[in-house]
Amino acid sequence: MGSSLDTQALGFPVELSQLGREIKKLWERESQTSTRASLINFAVFCRGPEAMQASTDLLMEFTRHHACRAILIGAEPDSSQDQIRAWINAHCHLSRAGAKQVCCEQVSFYFEGRTGNRIANVLYANLDSDLPLYLWWQGDFPAPIDVQLWAWVDRLIFDSQSWAQPRQQFSLIREALSSGHSRLVLCDLNWTRSLHLRQAIAQMFDCPENLTLLASLNTVTISHAPGFHSTALLLVGWLAAQLKLELHDSRPDNSQFTAPGGRPVRFVLKQESGRSISRCELHSDTGSLLCQRDTAGDFFRMEIRHQHGDVHHHLLPSGSNAAAPLLLEEIAGGGPHRVYLRALAIAEPFF
């Protein structure tokens, strides 16, 4: 077994059967100086004590921006003991008026040994009324997936960048979705990681003059950091889907597509040091677009060149790759993520 669980940040321990009563007592004590707020159930699944601590720190930041009941689920299947431990805590932050604190509760569970089959029942027994359920699953999904656990999930959050075998993981998701979970929205933080890059590229084509670059596009070159190959592949999928390109040759780092009308478009992926995707270049017969992430700040340097000699430069925000900002971006975005699904359908064969 790894390091022991530091329970101090999790709050005070409670008996599993007394959770409802203890939460009520918690708010009775806090009601004089605080207001309880909750708009969603936000559950986080992680493995091991270190992940429990990191997730608690992240939930504390998350509740500054989103009122919720936070449910932290930790698992340690290799433990020599078969037990479930529980804690409750409150994360309180001053309201904008500053007169009273706004508080969200965190309910934490630690499933040790052979108790993992009880996770779904314990989770559903402790949801806050009929509020939407967002589940952030950290790491790989188990095989087979416990479809009961997903039965009432509205948004399933994961990060495909962390998967060693993404094709296998996406296959597991498809199998689970085929069981009829039509309400489930897939939220891939690896997709969110390229949000500001995709917005920066799309914004360049708000100018009608720049659209000629897309009409004669022939090569796209993407530079990504080690470990972020899948992030680059999703960007390939997005560009191909938005431009209605058809796959012709599916080599992972040098693939060939065909544009409407039969024009070939080549995608080249390069690995180099940097932060996730550091550079994206679009070359065409009439000019080029360069999107380069600045190494010293959180912005993109954009350069548009036309064959007649005009050059235009722009600075646009690039966002952050840290877990908390990605998560906040994902929750704030909402929507059914249809664009992601189209991009994934193109990118998945390359994984």
Classify domain 192-350 by CATH number: 3.30.360.10
Tens of pLDDT along 309-334? 899 999 999 988 899 999 999 998 88
- On whether the CB atoms of residues 299 and 217 are closer than 8 A, the answer is no
In the 8-state DSSP scheme, what is residue 113?
A: S
pTM of the model: 0.93
Range with lowest mean pLDDT among 64-73, 92-101, 263-272, 329-338: 92-101
- Which backbone phi and psi does 162 adopt, to 5 degrees? -85, -5
Tens of pLDDT along 289-299? 999 999 877 89
Sheet holding 217-224, edge to edge: 246-249, 254-258, 264-271, 217-224, 277-284, 287-293, 299-306, 311-317
Give the domain ranges of the chain. 8-188, 192-350
Tens of pLDDT along 140-168? 999 888 888 888 899 999 999 999 999 99
Segments in 96-188 forming alpha helices (H): 119-125, 166-177
Six-digit token string for 285: 């017969």
